[in-house]
């Protein structure tokens, strides 16, 4: 007990740490003073079991209502020199620092403990009759629950906590790195427990604005029901797409179905959640895939119905055109916090839906304005320019300045010209546009996008590249026979006035309508171009590519796989830039000033026009390269030995003649390697003339290569073939803990023991592709049971004793399945089992399943209604009665039927686009009896059908085409009877 002036000036606050885990052995007690509070070492202080704080009595009384009553009132503590505080010691230390004017940095970790004690204080004084002096002071039992609140009742701190939480939870910036999902749920529960509307509103608002961050949390399923509902009903709910929201809600419902107490309550709760989903905006494949869901099938049917209503708009004048009274379910979710808008795979998206999404919410409620919107949906007779312009003159639209990225890939019905007008007005900060798989983008579209959206720096115009066969001959000249991406109009447009864009990344992958003239225009327009993807652009020449390289001096990423990229292009990469003075540069300095010296990515796989000498010269200059693809080129060992780079993360040398020693040399100098592809390298390990010599050299090469890989790298993707074995996998083991993709091809042999250990060695695997491996039921069952993240499984021409037992384990995350010549025993019943255990497939490839018949189609379409790709080859009589059942897969994009149609009599091509009439009729000699061909909803001005007449010497085909029908807009334009035997 203090005496004299000390008693009047100071008081000792005794704090005991209730958690022995946080204290250190031997540290029982420490005494500190508030006079040196600025120099407190909190971690050291908190390591003691008991902390005694000498504080100024007057300061406590001045700053705290509780201490004012305790130390200057009629309580016995007012005349004592010490008092006990039983609360979280760390929180109490922060409060003391605040009382003494120290800067207080509130964080997500400290907020609740600081706010909580002050809220308790408020409740204590709101209802004072519940707290008598004996309850507050005399009872140690109630001291922690109630007395603590009275100790820490500091209004200024409470206001600061409120202000901090309001600012960080309402900020437009993302705080996901600071915030943990557990903290958000805990704070919301605290607000619910204490009826704090302030906390509840801020928590649900934060969750709504950061919903994309939340749905990736591992504990998303633990969000309380009321909190989830409040967030999805919040006006600031921000998601990239309706699919992301729906998928998250489905996962939450499935994980919480058992926790909902009563059936009636379950139905009500599900209905309240599900009715918030705008099913009319789902991607088609997503809607079709949910048809096999036991819980959400009805919703999927509703979505498909809405999508097809939008794809087939009723005649003008019909009421309630899409089945929605308020059109709310056709509005894309846009808020002031939206940064990305993903509409990919939604064929129902039109300009009308875009416009509806940016008008104020009151508009669809107004009768006159609603008629304008409905007219826009219905009136297809109006010219497209007027159709896009007249509503914008009459309707006030909103602008969303935060949107930086838009994906309209596969939105076939979206008029590009109108969309660009929309983007420049509604998304003024747009920087990235993905418009993949759209064939209607032409010159004027490209120019308007560049002109009206000046901040756009990334454009993706990818189309399918897989059907392309790499050219085996060089293209000498390149002139468009049809309209190119950028035609003569573009050049005249440019000549009328220079138009420079900010485009730094341009992807034209697979576009056969890109020619040298287009590259010339791009080089003039895109002066800041850094990344260019021309993969599969078979219409451009080596000269065209080299000219572009010489003009785009900022290029650091070039992807030209399967093009005519050759010696001239390599010369352009290797030459010094124009800004360098050739007379003043030595050869070494010229290399340093070349474009090759600054390249970070070079993909030139399949470019057969590259000579060994030119490749040798190029490789010696690339010093900062991160990604290199040389698949199928004339790569030799010396080129790899000359490679000076040390930053490689991706290397593809598949189907080349390199040796293991040369590959080991590159690996040794590039410890950051994450992706290594070396399939088809027959010379990777040399073979001697005798077995003993061969085994000695073989073992040494393996040790050199795989040991270096295992010790130096952390791989995510590996592809090997010749020489890859169980020894290789064992040597690589330290590098494979983060492996996500493994592809073992011809010449590799893992063995049963290595296969069995694979899930343990590589627990993160998402893709497994095996060619010519020995597989058993035990191995596959282990893979299915252990690798829960597996999304792709391909077994091609593998051997072993495989049965349907291998697929009796549930693989709900599996998205792609290829079974090629490994399941000849598969029957319809086996296929049904497969559909049940792999319910979420989007791609299916079956080869050599000879026991399947026409009933298999219905099993496939019902079991996997969301399939996007189906490949069926040599699968018995699966198409003996046509392929109508497969068309129940409404989202189907890729259909391959080979050697499955020996009895095909009728063929219907719906919505075809054969610009050159190139229909290839399968040749089954005398067994083929095609008698009826129907071509419906074709592009009339471009579609033609010419039955090819066999050339002299060709095998005779018995093709009897008796009826040929062309249908356009529901009318038979041509009805011909052909009875000519070819």
CB pairs under 8 A, 24+ apart, for 87-90? 87/15, 87/117, 87/144, 87/148, 87/151, 87/152, 88/113, 89/15, 89/16, 89/17, 89/46, 89/51, 90/42, 90/46
Facing residues of 85 across strands?
15
Q: What is the DSSP letter of 774?
A: B
Q: What is the mean pLDDT of residues 799-827?
A: 91
741 - beta bridge partners? 717, 767
- Residue 976 predicted with pLDDT over 50: no
SS3 380: coil
pLDDT at 481: 47
Average confidence (pLDDT) over 909-919: 49
pLDDT at 391 over 70: no
What is the Cα–Cα distance from 327 to 317, expressed in whole angstroms?
A: 16
Q: What does the mean pLDDT of the chain come to?
A: 77
Token pair recorded at residue 792: 């792709």
pTM of the entire predicted model: 0.79
Measured CA to CA in angstroms, residue 957 lies from 74, 317, 541 at distances of: 113, 52, 38
Instruction: Assess contact for 762 and 786: CB atoms under 8 A.
Output: no
Least confident of 356-370, 573-587, 844-858: 573-587
- Please give the order of strands across the beta sheet that includes 29-33: 29-33, 50-56, 10-16, 82-85
What counts of helices (H) and strands (E) characterise the chain? Answer: 36, 27
- Res 717: pLDDT: 96
What confidence score (pLDDT) does residue 146 get?
A: 29
**Which tokens go with 80?**
């004592």
Q: Is 789 exposed, middle or buried (0-12, 13-18, 19+ CB in 10 A)?
A: exposed
* pLDDT band (50, 70, 90) for residue 442: confident
Contact 957, 980 (CB under 8 A): no
H or E stretch at 976: strand 971-977
pLDDT at 957 over 70: no
pLDDT of residue 262: 44
pLDDT band for 393, please (50, 70, 90 cuts): low
Among all chains, which residue has been given the structure tokens 């065209």?
A: 544
- What is the C-alpha separation between 723 and 701, in angstroms, rounded? 10
- Calpha distance 608→595 (Å, rounded): 22
Give the bridge partners for 770, in sequence order. 744, 795
Average pLDDT over every residue of 585-604? 75
Among 801, 695, 814, smallest CA distance to 766 is for: 814
- Measured between its terminal Cα atoms, the distance across the chain in Å is 117
What is the pLDDT, as a whole number, of residue 763?
Answer: 93
pLDDT, residue 484, reads 60
Q: What is the pLDDT of residues 186-203, one digit of tens each?
A: 889 888 887 888 889 989
* Res. 708 pLDDT band, cuts 50 70 90: confident
- Please tell me the predicted confidence (pLDDT) of residue 154: 67
pLDDT single digits (tens) 338-350:
999 999 999 999 8
pLDDT band at 173 (very low <50, low <70, confident <90, very high): low
Question: What superfamily does domain 464-478+499-577+594-620 belong to in CATH?
Answer: Ribonuclease Inhibitor (3.80.10.10)
Alpha-helical regions (H) of 15-154: 42-45, 57-63, 65-72, 89-99, 108-126, 133, 148-151
Confidence of residue 6 (pLDDT cuts 50, 70, 90): very low
Span 893-903, pLDDT tens digits: 888 888 765 55
Paired tokens of 276? 């918030």
- The pLDDT, as a whole number, for residue 688 is 38
Pick the range with the lowest mean pLDDT from 155-164, 256-265, 713-722, 929-938.
929-938
Highest mean pLDDT among 123-127, 466-470, 620-624: 620-624
The pLDDT, as a whole number, for residue 943 is 42
Most confident of 360-374, 433-447, 575-589: 433-447
Q: What is the pLDDT of residues 231-242, one digit of tens each?
A: 999 999 999 999
pLDDT score at 855: 93
Residue spans of the domains in the chain: they are 324-377+397-460, 464-478+499-577+594-620
Sequence-distant (6+) residues with CB within 8 A of 595 are 549, 553, 555, 572, 573, 575, 577
Q: What pLDDT is stored for residue 160 in this prediction?
A: 74
Q: For helices 108-126 and 65-72, give the axis angle rounded to 10 degrees.
A: 60
Digit-coded pLDDT (tens) for 20-76: 555 677 678 888 888 888 888 888 888 888 888 888 888 877 777 767 666 776 565
Give the model's pLDDT for residue 961: 45
Tell me the average pLDDT across 179-190. 85
- Quick one: average pLDDT of 134-150? 30
Distance CA 241, CA 226 (A): 23
885 pLDDT higher than 90:
no
Number of neighbouring beta carbons within 10 Å of residue 214: 21
CA separation for the pair 968, 944 (Å, rounded)? 13
Asked if residue 826 has pLDDT above 60, the reply is yes
Q: What is the pLDDT of residue 619?
A: 92
Higher pLDDT, 687 or 620: 620
What pLDDT does 549 receive? Answer: 95
Name the more confident of 320 and 465: 465
Instruction: Supply the pLDDT for residue 655.
Output: 93
Cα 617 to the center of its chain, rounded Å: 38
pLDDT value, residue 161: 73
Residue with tokens 């035990």: 778
* Closest to 343 measured CA to CA, from 285, 410, 286, 438: 410
| Averaged pLDDT, 556-566 | 94
User: Using one digit for the tens of pLDDT, what is the confidence trace for 733-782?
Assistant: 888 999 999 999 998 999 888 999 999 999 999 999 999 999 999 999 99
405: pLDDT confidence band, cut at 50, 70 and 90?
very high
Say whether pLDDT at 859 is over 90: yes
Question: 22: which 2 tokens?
Answer: 């946080």
807 Cβ contact partners less than 8 Å away, ≥ 6 residues apart? 780, 784, 830, 833, 834, 837, 838
Is the model's pLDDT at 583 over the cut of 50?
A: no
Give mean pLDDT, residues 952-957: 35
Only one residue has tokens 């499955």, namely: 900
Contact 571, 545 (CB under 8 A): no
Closest to 663 (Cα-Cα) out of 606, 608, 704: 704
At 138, the pLDDT band (50, 70, 90 cuts) reads very low
φ, ψ dihedrals at 364, nearest 5°: -60, -15
Q: Which residue has the tokens 């030595």?
A: 586
The CB density around residue 374, as the number of other CB atoms within 10 Å, is 21
CA-closest candidate to residue 509, choices 489, 533, 531, 527: 533
Nearest to 123 by CA among 92, 156, 145, 93: 145
> What does the block give as tokens for 467?
């059907």
pLDDT surpassing 80 at residue 698: no
CB 850 within 8 A of CB 880: no
Instruction: Report the pLDDT value the prediction gives residue 246, as an integer from 0 to 100.
Output: 95
8 Å CB contact between 628 and 650: yes
Share of the chain above pLDDT 70, in %: 69
């Amino acid at each position: 007990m203090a005496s004299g002036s000390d008693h009047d000036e100071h008081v000792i606050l005794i704090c005991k740490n209730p958690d022995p885990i946080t204290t250190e052995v031997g540290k029982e007690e420490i005494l500190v003073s508030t006079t040196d509070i600025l120099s407190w070492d909190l971690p050291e202080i908190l390591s003691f079991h008991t902390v005694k704080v000498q504080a100024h009595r007057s300061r406590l009384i001045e700053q705290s209502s509780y201490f004012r009553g305790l130390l200057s009132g009629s309580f016995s503590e007012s005349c004592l020199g010490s008092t006990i505080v039983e609360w979280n010691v760390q929180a109490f230390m922060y409060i003391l620092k605040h009382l003494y004017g120290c800067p207080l940095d509130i964080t997500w970790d400290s907020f609740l403990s600081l706010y909580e004690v002050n809220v308790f204080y408020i409740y204590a004084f709101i209802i004072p009759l519940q707290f008598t002096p004996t309850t507050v002071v005399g009872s140690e039992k109630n001291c922690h629950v109630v007395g603590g609140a009275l100790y820490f009742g500091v209004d200024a701190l409470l206001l600061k906590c409120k202000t901090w939480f309001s600012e960080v939870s309402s900020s437009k910036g993302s705080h996901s790195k600071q915030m943990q999902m557990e903290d958000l749920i805990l704070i919301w529960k605290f607000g619910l427990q204490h009826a704090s509307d302030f906390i509840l509103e801020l928590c649900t608002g934060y969750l709504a604005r950061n919903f994309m961050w939340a749905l990736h949390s591992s504990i998303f399923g633990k969000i309380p029901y009321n909190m989830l509902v409040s967030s999805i009903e919040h006006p600031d709910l921000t998601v990239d797409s309706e699919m992301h929201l729906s998928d998250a809600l489905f996962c939450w419902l499935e994980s919480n179905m058992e926790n909902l107490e009563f059936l009636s309550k379950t139905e009500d709760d599900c209905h309240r959640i599900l009715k918030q989903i705008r099913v009319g905006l789902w991607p088609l494949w997503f809607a079709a895939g949910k048809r096999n869901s036991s819980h959400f099938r009805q919703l999927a049917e509703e979505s498909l119905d809405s999508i097809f209503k939008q794809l087939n708009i009723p005649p003008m004048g019909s009421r309630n055109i899409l089945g929605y009274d308020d059109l709310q379910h056709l509005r894309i979710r846009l808020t002031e916090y939206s940064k990305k808008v993903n509409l990919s795979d939604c064929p129902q998206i039109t300009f009308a839906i875009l416009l509806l999404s940016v008008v104020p919410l009151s508009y669809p409620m107004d009768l006159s304005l609603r008629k304008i919107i409905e007219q826009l949906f219905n009136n297809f007779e109006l010219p497209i320019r007027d159709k896009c312009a007249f509503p914008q003159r009459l309707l006030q639209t909103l602008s969303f300045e935060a949107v930086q990225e838009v994906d309209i890939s596969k939105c076939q019905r979206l008029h590009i010209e109108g969309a660009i007008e929309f983007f420049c007005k509604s998304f003024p900060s747009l920087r990235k546009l993905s418009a993949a798989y759209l064939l209607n983008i032409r010159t004027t579209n490209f120019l308007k996008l560049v002109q009206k959206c000046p901040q756009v720096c990334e454009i993706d115009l990818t189309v399918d590249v897989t059907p392309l066969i790499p050219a085996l001959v060089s293209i000498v000249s390149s002139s468009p026979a049809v309209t190119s991406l950028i035609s003569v109009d573009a050049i005249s447009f440019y000549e009328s006035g220079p138009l420079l864009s900010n485009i730094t990344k341009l992807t034209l992958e697979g576009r056969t309508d890109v020619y040298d003239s287009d590259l010339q225009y791009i080089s003039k327009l895109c002066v800041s171009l850094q990344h260019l993807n021309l993969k599969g652009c078979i219409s451009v020449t080596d000269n065209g590519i080299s000219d572009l390289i010489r003009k785009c001096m900022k290029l650091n990423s070039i992807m030209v796989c399967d093009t005519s990229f050759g010696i001239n292009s390599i010369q352009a990469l290797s030459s010094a830039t124009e800004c360098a003075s050739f007379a003043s540069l030595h050869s070494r300095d010229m290399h340093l000033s070349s474009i090759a010296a600054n390249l970070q990515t070079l993909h030139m796989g399949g470019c057969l026009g590259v000579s060994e000498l030119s490749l040798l010269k190029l490789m010696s200059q690339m010093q900062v390269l991160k990604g290199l693809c040389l698949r199928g080129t004339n790569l030799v060992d010396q080129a790899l030995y000359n490679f000076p780079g040390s930053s490689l993360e991706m290397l593809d040398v598949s189907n080349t003649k390199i040796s293991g020693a040369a590959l080991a040399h590159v690996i040794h100098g590039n410890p950051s390697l994450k992706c290594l592809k070396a399939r088809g390298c027959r010379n990777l390990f040399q073979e001697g003339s005798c077995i003993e010599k061969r085994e000695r050299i073989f073992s040494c090469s393996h040790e050199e290569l795989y040991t270096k890989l295992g010790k130096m790298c952390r791989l995510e993707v590996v592809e090997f073939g010749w020489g890859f074995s169980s020894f290789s996998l064992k040597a690589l083991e330290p590098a494979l803990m983060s492996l996500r993709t493994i592809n073992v091809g011809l010449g590799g042999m893992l063995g049963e023991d290595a296969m069995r250990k694979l899930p343990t060695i590589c627990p993160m695997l998402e893709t497994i592709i095996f060619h010519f491996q020995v597989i058993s039921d035990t191995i596959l069952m282990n893979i299915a049971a252990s690798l829960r993240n597996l999304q792709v499984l391909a077994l091609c021409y593998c051997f072993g004793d495989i049965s349907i037992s291998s697929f009796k384990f549930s693989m709900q995350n599996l998205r792609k399945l290829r079974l090629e010549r490994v399941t000849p025993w598969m029957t319809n019943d086996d296929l049904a089992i497969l559909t049940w255990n792999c319910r979420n497939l989007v791609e299916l490839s079956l080869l050599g399943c000879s026991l399947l018949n026409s009933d298999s189609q219905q099993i496939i379409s019902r079991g996997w209604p969301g399939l996007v790709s189906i490949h069926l080859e040599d699968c018995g009589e699966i198409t003996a009665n046509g392929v109508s059942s497969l068309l129940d897969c409404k989202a189907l994009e890729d259909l391959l039927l080979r050697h499955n149609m020996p009895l095909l009599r009728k063929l219907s091509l719906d919505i075809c686009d054969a610009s050159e009439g190139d229909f290839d009729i399968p040749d089954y000699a005398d067994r083929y009896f095609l008698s009826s061909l129907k071509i419906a909803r074709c592009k009339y001005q471009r579609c033609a059908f010419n039955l090819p007449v066999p050339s002299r010497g060709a095998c005779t085909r018995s093709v009897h085409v008796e009826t040929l029908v062309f249908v356009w807009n529901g009318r038979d334009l041509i009805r011909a009877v052909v009875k000519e035997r070819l």
